[in-house]
Structures are given as C-alpha cells and as structure tokens.
Amino acid sequence: MSRTTDWAIATGVAATLVVAGLSKPAPDLAPLGYALLAAGGLALVARRRAPIAVLAVTGLCALGYQAVGFDVPVVAYLFAVYAAVRAGHRVVTVVASVIMLAALPLAIVVSLHDWPGAFTQSRNVLEIAWLIAAGAAGEALRQAERRADEAERTREETARRRANEERLHIARELHDSLTHQISVIKVQAEVAVHLANKRGEEVPEALLAIRDAGREAARELRATLEALRDDDKNPPHGLDDVPELVQRARTTGLDAKLTIEGHRDDLPAAVDRTAYRIVQESLTNIARHAAAASASIRIDYRPDALVIRVDDDGKATTDTSPGPGVGLLGMRERVTALGGHLQAAPRSEGGFTVHAELPVDRT
C-alpha cells in the first residue's frame, strides 16, 4: 500500500511540475528542462528508503531546470525536505537547504531570464518560509511517530509485567494449595513405614512408592515455584558464584569475609540458587542501607541442612526494626518455599544479621 502511495505522490508531483513548466514560455533547452522537472518529481518514489539521496537529486533537478529557464517552484525539493526531516536527518537537511537557497539565485542568473527577480526580498522570504514549513511538518510527524512507538512499547512492557505478576500469583497459589496436602501424604507414609519397620513387619511396596512419590513431588513443586519466580535471563547463579559476590563487595570498600564450614555434597538446584540469592540480597542491603565497615558471610554445610549467616556492623540497633522491604520479603518467600526458615533482625551488639536454614534431603 505504501509503495502505491509513493508512486502516486511522485507521479502527481512530476505531472504538476511538468504542467507548470508547459505553462511558461519555452526556453532554448526546453526538453532538458522538462526532463529535469519530471525527474525531480519521480525521484520522490524513493524518499522513504533513501531520503538523503532524494534530497540531493530533487535539489539538483530544481537548480537544473531553473538554470535552463523554467521559473517553477521547487515543489519536489520541499517534499524531499519533509521526508528527510521525518527520517531524522535534520542537520543534513538544514545544510542542504542553506546551500539550495544560496545556489538558487545563481541558477536563475545563469538562465538570464530573471536577473532582478533572483534577489528580491519577497522571493527569498517565501522560499525560506516554505522550507521551514516543510521541515516543521516532517519534524512534527517524526515526533508523533516516536511518541506512538514509545506508547506501544510501554503498553507491551506493562502487559509483560502483569503477565509475570499473574504467573507468580498462580505459582504461589499452587504452592500454598498443594504443599500442605503433599506434605501430609509424605508424613503419613513415612510414619507408616517407620512403624512397620519398628514392628518388624514387611513394608508394602505400595507404601514405599507413596513415600518416595511424596518426596519427589515436594522437591518438584519447590523447584517449579523457584523456576517461576526466577525472572533473570542469564543462567542461574549458585554457591560457586558466592566468592565472586564477596570479592565484588570488597571493591566497594566493605571488609567482607567468607567462611565455609563442612563438606559440600550435591545440593538440589533450588537450594543452591536460593542460597546465592540470600547472600546477594544481604550484601546489597548492606551496601544500600547499613553504612557498615565490615561483614561476615558464613556458609555451613550440615548433613541435613544448609545454614547461611550474614552479619554486618552497620547502624542498625535493636531499637530499630527493618522495614517491609522487597528484598527481605523475597528472601523469606524463597526460604519458606523450600521448607526452611529465615531470621532477619538487628543484633544486640549493633548491626544486622540474616540467618537462614535450608533443609537438604539427601535420600
């Protein structure tokens, strides 16, 4: 559709220029003048794809037919100015138009058909006014298109954010409604297996299958919730990346020390990611709010749990309580989703502490 419109405009402008030329007395080089009039109009068909080239071609054609002897308004050049400014080439358009205004009287002088009229003030003012109008129209439409694109992008971002919020809401609802039921099934099965073993009875295969399925379902549910919560586009980080976090904190002037205790075995991916997030968010809060000089990060690998503790010597006291920040809320939700617990509060000796315990099922 736009291609057809471009050809219609170009053909119409070319026809208008040729008709205006035919209405004038024919100079000696009339065929060349008619060709330049038509070429200047038809060049507008490429104004969307190559606005600078069209600006140059229409300007040269206008100078050419003025020099031949056709005193016809530079209509095609005005269209080219509009198209170039709309495409964002404002500086090039201004420079080209200044050159055009300077060269146009010379082209008229060369034609020897309008020596006095070439330098009249009214003519120059009219030409400048038309050029400014064409440029202003192009700039106005460019700004309108930019605002429309920005509004569309904002709508898309809002829609994506709402979709993400709805996805997280669904994940939380599923977690809340299913975790309890699965936990009950798993606990009942484990109690039944324990009692059977205690009595020396043979444990039915179906009961063992229910117990194992309950454990696996609980792990999958936690991992799924964690995956739905993770909006990062980059690969997920884990405990292997904690030393880099601590080193980055040291570059800000914080005396951060990392202590690792116990032997690390394979951890569930959800526990590994959550542990990293706890350390990351704790160090971020220290940098933003604590005004601390030092911090200690302790990671303790225990047989049945992973314990993380982050202490700082910041300005927090027992008389102050942490506000309901998004960071602490996010940490607490992550830990709770994995069946652990988190404590975050000021220390009696000053500063703040974050203590998290994440259960690790190694069976």
pLDDT digits (tens, 9 = 90+) for 145-163: 788 777 777 777 777 777 7
Q: Is the dihedral of CA 123, 128, 131, 133 positive or negative?
A: negative
Looking at residue 19, its pLDDT comes to 87
Both tokens of 332, joined, read 């607490």
Token pair 């106005």 in the structure block, residue: 140
Residue 340 near residue 304, CB atoms below 8 Å: no
CA atoms within 13 A on the CB side of 72: 37
Residue 168 near residue 228, CB atoms below 8 Å: yes
Looking at residue 261, its pLDDT comes to 92
CB-CB neighbours of 201 under 10 Å:
9
357's CB contacts (< 8 A; 6+ apart) are 305, 306, 307, 308, 335, 340, 341, 342
Looking at residue 121, its pLDDT comes to 41
**Dist CA 201 CA 114 (whole Å):** 119
CA atoms within 13 A on the CB side of 158: 6
Low-confidence ranges of the chain (pLDDT < 70): 1, 107-129, 164, 167-181, 219-236, 320-327, 362-363
Both tokens of 214, joined, read 């309950």
Looking at residue 158, its pLDDT comes to 75
Looking at residue 122, its pLDDT comes to 41
Looking at residue 233, its pLDDT comes to 45
Both tokens of 14, joined, read 């070319």
Both tokens of 76, joined, read 């095609």
Looking at residue 63, its pLDDT comes to 84
What is the dihedral angle through the alpha carbons of 45, 47, 53, 54, rounded to the nearest 10 degrees? Answer: 60
**Dist CA 306 CA 261 (whole Å):** 10
Looking at residue 115, its pLDDT comes to 45
DSSP structural state of residue 350: S
**Dist CA 43 CA 53 (whole Å):** 9
**Dist CA 50 CA 73 (whole Å):** 23
Looking at residue 311, its pLDDT comes to 92
**Dist CA 241 CA 161 (whole Å):** 28
